[in-house]
Amino acid sequence: MLDKVKEKLLTPAGLEISDVQKSLDRLYSSDLDFGDIYFENMVSEGWGIDESVVKSGSYSIYQGFGVRAVSGEKTALAHSDEISATAIDQSVRSARSITRHGQERTVNLGSPVAGHSLYSMDNPIDSVDRDRKIRLLQDMDEYARSKSPLVKQFNASIAASYCHSMVMATDGTVSADIKPSATLRCSVVVEKDGRKEIGRSGGGLRGGFEFFFNDVGDRIRAMSYVDEAFRQAMVNLEAEPAPAGPMTVVLAAGWAGVLIHEAVGHGLEGDSCRKGESLFSKLMGQQVASPVCTVVDDGRLPDSVGSLNVDDEGVPTRYNVLIDKGNVASFMYDRHNARLAGVSSTGNGRRMGYSNAPIPRMTNTYMLPGESDPQEIVSSVDSGIYAVDFAGGQVDPTSGQFVFKCCEAYLLENGKVTRPIKGATLIGNAIEVMKSISMVGNDLKFDPGLGTCGKAGQWVRVGIGIPTLKLDRITVGGTSQR
């Protein structure tokens, strides 16, 4: 893989690995603790349909490198969109200016880091020709509008990226990865008696567009997304105002795992924990959840959008147990924060692009399945809410307070899922809510590959998953009291 990436990133500029090594030598000949040079070339394509017209099309190339110098708590990053010997030399001089010049040191590069082989290295943009992609969007639009006269709007977008990356560091490590990504999203707006509601669906993977043409049941996957978006919109069209107050909530398997991602995952990232900015900072080994809860972050799931063969610092991704049977077991680290904390990187160093410094980020974060049958969990609730999907939320990682808005939810009455409700929000404290989990289903399910996560201005793809969960007590914000 390294040879392929080198041919893409260095050869056009007339550079060899040995040239970059000399630049690393100059970078390291300062009073630095650590430094690296990250190269990237990302090609992206996207198409979108709205009002039955393909209105958007894009093709872009994002290429460059970033030189990082680390000394104590200080980090300097110099970057350029021109990969050349001159640009690298200038960036090295800029980055190492955070420290004084030291004695001459040489970086001895070792063998390439042996990463995983989690996904195809083929270019997803080339997997299906342009006309077929456009025709797919048009077919989805026609299919959505044929489903009901209540359908008033439909839009969809299809996008892919193909990224070559390489990182060389002052500790002698050198690694490379080739990362494909393809995504298809759609939304349906329905209207009845002046009331409009929306439903959304889609999917994504580290792979090619052909995934969306595969058969799922009696139609291709792309059309199944239209079915799902239409179904959700129709459910919301019949939804009644959500009740409010403390009550039992059952989270459906899959997308509802965003609550675990936000309320727990961000609080276990190594930078906030090391700095004492997370409510979990001083709780290593202590109970923060029910004993039936084990939460992991795993960057090795095949084809998942959150997976990486190596992270953006060249460290192979791992299976990290974050909460083990209710107790904090580990934090997620990049190299910088791991060094300051006196531990090893967990393979969670991620960056949005070459112009960004890596920071600790989640990959695929999910709760392990339990022993309860999902129907048993639902049947155990006399009165409460069944939350299927969330539209978004806010979390304060310092206090653990969160607010999440449900975009699909139902009443639970006498052990059965009954009427759909609208406007429900879940409000609570991360630790209190995690401790209130009394039943965990045996039906672990992941999101369909649409997860993205923002932190410090950087957006990366992530995977999310949970089995069915029962929260004995959580505050539900709604529009009526009960």
pLDDT tens string 203-237: 999 999 999 999 988 889 999 999 999 999 999 99
In sign, the C-alpha dihedral spanning 117, 362, 5, 27 is negative
Question: CA-to-CA distance for 342 and 303, rounded, in angstroms?
Answer: 32
Say yes or no to pLDDT of 284 above 60.
Answer: yes
Domain enclosing residue 198, as ranges: 2-237
178/280 same-domain check: no
Q: Which of 54, 50, 48, 52 is nearest to 159 (CA)?
A: 48
CATH number at residue 32: 3.30.2290.10
The predicted structure's pLDDT at residue 395: 83
Question: CA-to-CA distance for 212 and 234, rounded, in angstroms?
Answer: 24
Say yes or no to pLDDT of 396 above 90.
Answer: no
Say yes or no to pLDDT of 100 above 80.
Answer: no
78/184 same-domain check: yes
For residues 96-120, give the mean pLDDT.
87
Task: Among 205, 237, 269, give the residue marking a domain's end.
Answer: 237
The predicted structure's pLDDT at residue 482: 47
432/351 same-domain check: yes
Question: CA-to-CA distance for 295 and 327, rounded, in angstroms?
Answer: 10
475/351 same-domain check: yes
Say yes or no to pLDDT of 101 above 90.
Answer: no
> Do 464 and 259 contact (CB within 8 A), yes or no?
no
The predicted structure's pLDDT at residue 219: 86
251/353 same-domain check: yes
> Do 212 and 184 contact (CB within 8 A), yes or no?
yes
Cα→Cα distances 462→61, 191, 359, 380, 475, Å: 22, 33, 14, 32, 27
Say yes or no to pLDDT of 259 above 90.
Answer: no
Give the total number of structural domains in the chain: 2
Token pair in block for residue 391: 């539209």
Confidence bin at 130 (pLDDT 50/70/90): very high
- 436-472 confidence digits (pLDDT tens): 999 999 999 999 999 999 999 999 999 999 999 999 9
44/148 same-domain check: yes
The predicted structure's pLDDT at residue 393: 74
The DSSP code sequence of 83-123 is -SHHHHHHHHHHHGGGS-B-S-------SPP-----S--S-
The predicted structure's pLDDT at residue 218: 83
**Collapsed DSSP state (helix, strand, coil) of residue 291:** coil
What's phi and psi for 353, nearest 5 deg?
-175, 180
185/255 same-domain check: no
- Length of the chain counted residue by residue: 482
Task: Among 188, 214, 237, give the residue marking a domain's end.
Answer: 237
pTM (predicted TM-score) = 0.95
113/187 same-domain check: yes
315/383 same-domain check: yes
* Mean pLDDT (the chain, rounded): 95
Confidence bin at 11 (pLDDT 50/70/90): very high
The predicted structure's pLDDT at residue 102: 67
Task: Among 217, 237, 257, give the residue marking a domain's end.
Answer: 237
> Do 395 and 402 contact (CB within 8 A), yes or no?
yes
- Paired strand residues for 161: 44, 181
Confidence bin at 202 (pLDDT 50/70/90): very high
214/276 same-domain check: no
Say yes or no to pLDDT of 302 above 70.
Answer: yes
- Continuous segment of H or E residues that includes residue 374: helix 374-379
Say yes or no to pLDDT of 481 above 70.
Answer: no
Question: CA-to-CA distance for 446 and 324, rounded, in angstroms?
Answer: 20
219/263 same-domain check: no
Enumerate residues 6+ apart whose C-beta is below 8 A from 461.
181, 204, 305, 306, 451, 452, 453
421/293 same-domain check: yes
